[in-house]
Amino acid sequence: MTFVASSEVQHVVEDFERLWTVAGFAEQFAATMARPVAVTGAPHEIVLDEHHRLLVAALRRARQNGEIAGGRGLHELADALVGFYLIRRLGRGSLDGWARIAIKTVVDAEDTR
């Protein structure tokens, strides 16, 4: 089965890129990446947790609607989609169409297992 991203899934995936434009988000995220600490409740952590929750919920609805096959856990799919963005962002790769490409790559790979 080939997954054609529902507008909801694509919107939530693309929303991760928009987080980087929120004042202070990128700086806090980068500081945590450089020096992970056990602090919880920082604004960027709350935003990331909420984004993850929204992405998992969108993937769950897509699975319930038959848009994606069962198999891998939804949390793992969400992590892979966000990881796709991070490697492109940190490696200064192209972000043109990244969300659509990430969804096709990650979810299609999940469907062919």
Chain segment 55-91, per-residue pLDDT in tens: 999 999 888 888 877 777 899 989 988 888 888 887 8
* % of the chain exceeding 90 in pLDDT: 5
* 48 CB-near residues (< 8 Å, 6+ apart): 19, 29
Q: Give residue 1's pLDDT.
A: 42
pTM (predicted TM-score): 0.75
